Amino acid sequence: MKTASTTQSPRDTLKLRMPSAERSLIDRAAETAGKTRTAFILEAARRAAEEALLDRALMEVSPGDCGEFLKRLDRPAQPNGRLQRTMRSKAPWQGA
């Protein structure tokens, strides 16, 4: 039985052509983050891909559920104790 430390997933290669100025910028940023160029680019690309997909997420609901949701949005907010305390307190940038 293989353990997690000995199991490797298949990898693909992705070749990128970019201006040297952009490569230098990426290299400096990767070094600052303590990562390799590959790790830095993969993390940034993965994050951008997730955001792009989440921005286009579609939720489907029945007409009845949609109507109920819209009714709840239209209802005035009911302030509770925590909200009232927050509204009375000064903003952090206003000082103590």
Per-residue pLDDT of the chain (96 residues; tens, 9 = 90+): 555 556 677 889 989 999 999 999 999 999 999 999 999 999 999 999 999 999 888 888 999 999 999 999 999 888 899 988 988 898 888 875
Query: Is 56 domain-assigned?
Result: yes
Q: Has residue 91 been placed in a domain?
A: no
At 38 the pLDDT is 95
CA 93 to CA 72: how far, in whole Å? Answer: 33
Query: Which residues does 93 contact at the CB level (< 8 Å), separation at least 6?
Result: none
Position 62 in a domain = yes
Is 57 inside a domain boundary? yes
Question: Does 41 map to a domain?
Answer: yes
Cβ–Cβ < 8 Å for 40, 29: yes
Residue 1, pLDDT score: 52
**Residue 6 covered by a domain:** no
In a domain, 44, yes or no: yes
CA distance 4 to 48: 28
Q: Which domain holds residue 48?
A: 17-73
Domain count, the chain: 1
pLDDT at 11: 86
Q: Which amino acid is at 53?
A: L
pLDDT at 19: 96
